Amino acid sequence: MPQAEEQEVNMKVAVVGATGLVGSKMLQVLAERNFPVTELVPVASERSVGKEVEFKGTKYKVVSMTDAIAVKPAVAIFSAGGGTSLEWAPKFAEAGITVIDNSSAWRMDPSKPLVVPEINADVLTANDKIIANPNCSTIQMVVALNPLHKKYGIRRIVVSTYQSVTGTGVKAVDQLQGERARQVKGEVTDYPMAYKYPIDLNVIPQIDVFLDNGYTKEEMKMVKETCKIMRDDNIKVTATTVRIPVMGGHSEAVNVEFENEYELQEVRSLLQSSPGVVVVDDVATQQYPMPMDAHDKDEVFVGRLRRDESQPKTLNMWVVSDNLRKGAATNAVQIAEYLLAKTLI
């Protein structure tokens, strides 16, 4: 989706959770994409009220939820956790403010749209006052798979993720850096433990809490959100989500079984012509997507395209994207851009 052009239309925009890792990225993306912000309304917890954040060279004071509602922004982008969203998003919506929420609070609510603009922005209407931003690992996968689903029909997806510590937040980044400093430099410093176990020189096969079926909440998010976004409850999805000691973005090994046969070159061409997708796939020169290459970029990178030789009509692929950008901030801003372009806000 193209960036917003400089335009006459201006608006007041609230960013809820503006001092957090994703909130800070929201501010960066709003500025980079020239979203027409007349006035920024940064919102955070009570302990952060009065602090300042910078946006396009201007400093703005952080305000409370109540004060943010009172100034009536046109749109509020939430990145403050599910509990906060459940409590406050309806209050913003009741005041006529369009909420784009980055938590899991509203994603599976049948009355709330769950949107990846390249795929299903057409579901949005002016009456949608709470719009859910999908899970980061789901977003990058469906951006890569949607054009293939339209052409061949997806029957089943098996996905294993390799997810960045930035998906957990600042505390996890501090843990990784603290462990790395101790390991490499011998520094003995205190650092928070975002995880039960060390993350440096380790992988943790658990993201979010375990559910009764033995899967984690993150894994079941991918299962349920994929079907809702792609508007097909017949797609079977199974996921294993893993935290690894990187910071550039999330990676996914995706095995997808189609209803219909495909040609590998046609798959490549479809992906190359799909909005938001970049194909990096040349085994002869060892070119393939990596988190360090996706860092601070908005695209979804796809490579290692190859036929699954164990069964027919099945493709293996490797999908990488910056989880703080397309997996969170950029997708939310793209939703706002679509609403503005269609005069829905």
- Please tell me the number of Cα atoms within 13 Å of 157 on its side-chain side: 34
Report the SS3 class of residue 9. Answer: coil
For tokens 């409590």, the residue is 87
Q: Going by C-beta distance under 8 Å and a sequence separation of 6 or more, which residues neighbour residue 49?
A: 62, 63, 64
Is residue 149 among the annotated active site residues? no
Gap between the Cα atoms of 125 and 305, Å rounded: 37
Report the SS3 class of residue 330. Answer: helix
Is residue 227 among the annotated active site residues? no
Task: List the beta strands (DSSP E) in the chain.
Answer: 11-16, 37-43, 52-55, 58-61, 75-78, 98-101, 130-132, 154-163, 236-243, 250-258, 277-279, 300-307, 314-321
The catalytic position among 149, 227, 250, 295 is: 250
The catalytic position among 136, 149, 227, 295 is: 136
Rounded to a whole number, what is the distance in angstroms from the first to the last CA of the chain?
18
Q: Which residues are known catalytic residues?
A: 136, 250
